[in-house]
Amino acid sequence: MLNTLVGKVAVVTGAANGIGLAISQGFAECGATVVMTDIDNDKLHLEKDLLLRDYDSVDAVTCDVGCSDSVKQMAKQVLRDHSQIDVLVNNAAVAIPGNIVSMSEADWSSVINTNLSSVYRTIQAFLPSMLTRKSGSVINISSVQASRSWRNWTAYATAKGGIRSMTIQLAGQFGDMNVRFNTITPGAILTPMNENRAKEEGEAFLAQSKKMSPASRLGRTSEVASAAVFLASDDAAFVNGADIKVDGGLSTVPRYEEHT
Ligand SMILES: NC(=O)c1ccc[n+]([C@@H]2O[C@H](COP(=O)([O-])OP(=O)(O)OC[C@H]3O[C@@H](n4cnc5c(N)ncnc54)[C@H](O)[C@@H]3O)[C@@H](O)[C@H]2O)c1
């Protein structure tokens, strides 16, 4: 894997924590220039400075993917400072549950905006540059919940299913321009997102996630990063429209069991 991303400029959204941070590190390890972006300015710059101790080419641009102007500004800065983009990872998301009956439209729209419309925004901002150079890899982070029912996660799951559909559409449309679109579908991965859910829903949530998984454990962020490194690299030159499940087999089990 070492050096497989040398010469590539990669942008990772939601890079200050969890999976986005691990992907940023994985890309840097493989020689890419990594532009980390996140809404959390302080944590973003803290993590960037930590990565810079080990790797030369790490940059950080604060960006709210839920806001068009912020995404446009970030893309402008990336293309000005780095001249190109080769890899875009749409990873930023919020995990907000809600019962379809009682969820307010404002909350629904907020989840869809941050988790799904954000992907439209970043692709719209960066795709013209990829098309001009006839080169690019877009990696969209979906979720097992795109195809499995979890109680009261309708908006989140809808966004994740939409990401998969968008990826298929764009893979077909831009494959002949050598711009590839793929998804990664993580199962339960130990990240701040799940640690926060455990705080809110109780430790039984994590125990149940382990029990549900054929692997009997949660995934590591580095395991998702390995899939992203592959999709970003030229080793995946003929991989377009694919979905790589990094879920320990979770999506193969017959049904979700409610944790109580
Ligand atoms: N952790 C899991 O088990 C799991 C499972 C399936 C899918 N996923 C997906 O993987 C991705 C990463 O999840 P994670 O667990 O690492 O999450 P996380 O909460 O640990 O990290 C998400 C990051 O996104 C950032 N972010 C949130 N809103 C933002 C915004 N508006 N603009 C820019 N940045 C924003 C946060 O500040 C944070 O740094 C998400 O797309 C998530 O849906 C996670």
**pLDDT, tens digit, 9 for 90 and up, residues 215-256:** 999 999 999 999 999 999 999 999 999 999 999 999 998 766
Determine the structural domain holding residue 32 and report its residue range.
Answer: 9-252
Asked whether residue 190 carries a pLDDT value surpassing 80, the answer given is yes
Q: Tell me, what's the pLDDT at 1? A: 72
Domain assignment present for residue 2? The answer is no
Q: What is the DSSP string of 112-137?
A: HIIIIIHHHHHHHHHHHHHHHHT-EE
Domain assignment present for residue 198? The answer is yes
Tokens 């500004």: give the residue: 73
Q: Is 191 in the pocket of ligand 1 (CB under 6 A)?
A: yes
Q: Is 92 in the pocket of ligand 1 (CB under 6 A)?
A: yes
For the chain, give the percent of residues with pLDDT over 90. 87
Question: What CA–CA distance (Å, rounded) separates 115 from 120?
Answer: 10
Domain assignment present for residue 138? The answer is yes
Q: Tell me, what's the pLDDT at 187? A: 96
Q: Is 228 helix (H, G, I), strand (E, B) or coil?
A: helix
Domain assignment present for residue 19? The answer is yes
H or E element that contains 33:
strand 33-38
Which ligand 1 atom is the nearest neighbour of the CA of 224? 10
User: Which residue out of 191, 210, 250, 251 has the highest number of ligand 1 atoms within 8 Å of its CB and is therefore the one to mutate?
Assistant: 191
As given in the structure block, the two tokens for residue 245 are 């499940």
- Contacts of 236 by beta carbon, 8 Å cutoff, 6+ apart: 137, 180, 182, 230
Total domains present in the chain: 1
Domain assignment present for residue 79? The answer is yes
User: How far does the centroid of ligand 1 lie from the alpha carbon of residue 242, in Å?
Assistant: 21
Asked whether residue 55 carries a pLDDT value surpassing 70, the answer given is yes
Domain assignment present for residue 257? The answer is no
Please choose, from the candidates 15, 13, 16, 19, the residue with its C-alpha nearest in 3D space to the C-alpha of residue 191: 19
- Contacts of 150 by beta carbon, 8 Å cutoff, 6+ apart: 157, 256
Cβ atoms 186, 218 nearer than 8 A: no
DSSP 218: P
Q: Is 60 in the pocket of ligand 1 (CB under 6 A)?
A: no
Q: Is 242 helix (H, G, I), strand (E, B) or coil?
A: coil
Question: Domain of 21: which CATH number?
Answer: 3.40.50.720
Domain assignment present for residue 112? The answer is yes
The dihedral sign for the CA sequence 227, 207, 153, 103: negative
Tokens 């019962």: give the residue: 99
User: How far does the centroid of ligand 1 lie from the alpha carbon of residue 244, in Å?
Assistant: 18
Question: What CA–CA distance (Å, rounded) separates 210 from 23?
Answer: 23
User: How far does the centroid of ligand 1 lie from the alpha carbon of residue 175, in Å?
Assistant: 27
Q: How far is CA 170 from CA 40, 121, 194, 245, 250, in A?
A: 29, 14, 30, 19, 27
Taking residues 73-88, what's their average pLDDT?
98
Confidence of residue 105 (pLDDT cuts 50, 70, 90): very high
Catalytic site residues? 156
As given in the structure block, the two tokens for residue 81 are 């400072």
Domain assignment present for residue 171? The answer is yes
Model pTM? Answer: 0.97
User: How far does the centroid of ligand 1 lie from the alpha carbon of residue 190, in Å?
Assistant: 11
